Amino acid sequence: MKDVGILGGGISGLFMGRFLGEGSEVLERDSTPGGLSRTFGGNGFKSDIGGHILFSKDKEALAHSLHVLGKNVRTARRANRILYNGVHVKYPFENGIDQLAPEERVEILCDFIENPHKEKPTQFKEWMFHVFGDALTNKYMLPYNEKIWKTPSEDMSLEWVERVPRPPLRDLVKTAIGISTEGYTHQLYFQYPEKGGFEAFPRAIADGVGQRLFTNCDVQKLKQVDGGWAVITRDGSERRYKQLVSTLPINTLFDALGDVPAEVQAAADALRFNSLRVVLVGIKGETLPEYTALYVPSPEVLAHRLCFNHVFSPDLVPAGHQSISCEITVRPGSDLDQWSDDQLITRKVDDLVKVGLLKKEQVVHTQVHREKYAYVVYDRGYAQRVKVVRDYIEGRGLHIAGRFAEYQYVNTDACVRRALELSKQLRGSIAPESRLPEGALS
């Protein structure tokens, strides 16, 4: 019986395997590890499953991430924009209002300063008005967030709002009078793999796990046996572990457990998520702007974010070509969920032409990737339902780590941090071979 079995080979599971070292194994359903951090493509074009970069205020988590990549890393400066009424406004929006008409600048600034929404907010819509005022909320925050979350903002809770930085008044005033400012400075500079797309990152972590990573290993059944766990996979094989760490989506884990109480299963079933469609559009020529991403609040354009892959790394496009990855969130069961690849491609190419980014005759490659579990949705009642589910999992003696295992909207650095802390909890310290070299945190 091995010490620890790790279910799922995304960033969280792979780092758990790396940090725990010998005595642990990682079981991944697919032929390629990486989860949401994989890269797809064809004809020389590559795209990540949504835009991914490496940045963090957590220096230790970032150091571990960069250490596994070694020399396969490049540093870039964020160049995001927001498509607002035909203008490519600097991101975040409050740091780009100098590009708006003087009347709009005054409106945004006065609404921010004279904000009448003083009562403590109880849901996300109230929070946006409370923090940003009427103009900034109505012009950008409200339409963009309702577009990406596919949920009325008054039906969303507040557990996640610390992810949305509050603009300092001084920055807003300076920008309004034409003095350049930068927001979200912790991600102004970021790292990205030089070669291989973002998938190079989980592949590098997997190299440190080595033969303890098992792919094409689809977990079907979990049973408690002899003070540990038996894991039965689709091919009928069985592996036994003293402890289990699940990075699987909660309902996938519950399907494998099979004997979940009705009230716990009901809580899990009520947890909401959005799926993702990524439409990769490759073009001949080098006519696209040198943006990292363009955010699109307008409902007239299907995607909420456009990522310009050639800016992340030239390796993502053939020579003399460029590409855009169009990210579209989808509520499971909605009409949009039923759209075919051809429908998505036709609409997105038409959208890109309409907003002036490309000409249809430039398009030489299109491709669609579908991801079922992409974004955790924090609707009202989220906290109570998550508590019920986590309490049950903990009571069964299982450990969880990762976005859809813990049901938290966490980025890569938070996955690394959770894997680091849980590995220390289970092992006492991380495996010597996974420790950072001296000076890595200086």
Q: What is the pLDDT along the chain (442 residues), one digit of tens a residue?
A: 999 999 999 999 999 999 999 999 999 999 999 999 999 999 999 999 999 999 999 999 999 999 999 999 999 999 999 999 999 999 999 999 999 999 999 999 999 999 999 999 999 999 999 999 999 999 999 999 999 999 999 999 999 998 888 889 999 999 999 998 888 888 899 999 999 999 999 999 999 999 999 999 999 999 999 899 999 999 999 999 999 999 999 999 999 999 999 999 999 999 999 999 999 999 999 999 999 999 999 999 999 999 999 999 999 999 999 999 999 999 999 999 999 999 999 999 999 999 999 999 999 999 999 999 999 999 999 999 999 999 999 999 999 999 999 999 999 999 999 999 999 999 999 999 999 998 888 7
* Residue 204 near residue 16 (C-beta atoms within 8 A): no
CATH fold for the domain made of 2-38+57-72+194-271+379-434: FAD/NAD(P)-binding domain (3.50.50)
Q: Give CA–CA dist 98/62, Å, rounded.
A: 33
Which helix (H) or strand (E) covers residue 76, if one does?
Answer: strand 74-77
- Do β-strands 321-330 and 219-225 pair in parallel, antiparallel, or remain unpaired? unpaired
Question: Where are the alpha helices (H) located in 305-438, listed in sequence order?
Answer: 309-312, 341-354, 382-395, 403-406, 412-427
HEC readout, 159-218: CCHHHCCCCCHHHHHHHHCCCCCCCCHHHCEEEECCCCCCCHHHHHHHHHHHHHEECCCC
* Residue 280 near residue 41 (C-beta atoms within 8 A): yes
In single-letter form, the type of residue at position 274 comes to: N
Cβ neighbors of 318 (< 8 A, separation 6 or more) are: 43, 44, 45, 282
Q: Give CA–CA dist 333/337, Å, rounded.
A: 6
pTM, entire model? 0.96
Per-domain residue ranges for the chain? 2-38+57-72+194-271+379-434, 93-183, 273-377
Residue 57 is encoded by which pair of tokens?
């205020």
- Do β-strands 219-225 and 213-214 pair in parallel, antiparallel, or remain unpaired? unpaired
**Looking at residue 185, what is its pLDDT?**
86
Of 357, 353, 283, the C-alpha closest to 320 is: 283
Q: Give CA–CA dist 155/117, Å, rounded.
A: 18
Domain 273-377 grouped into CATH 3.20.20.100: no
From the number of C-beta atoms within 10 Å of its C-beta (0-12, 13-18, 19+), residue 333 rates as exposed
* Residue 86 near residue 199 (C-beta atoms within 8 A): no
* Residue 329 near residue 375 (C-beta atoms within 8 A): yes
SS3 call for 231: strand
Straight-line distance from the first to the last Cα atom of the chain, in angstroms, rounded to the nearest whole number: 40
Residue 414 is encoded by which pair of tokens?
């938070």
Q: At what angle do helices 102-113 and 124-136 cross, to 10 degrees?
A: 140
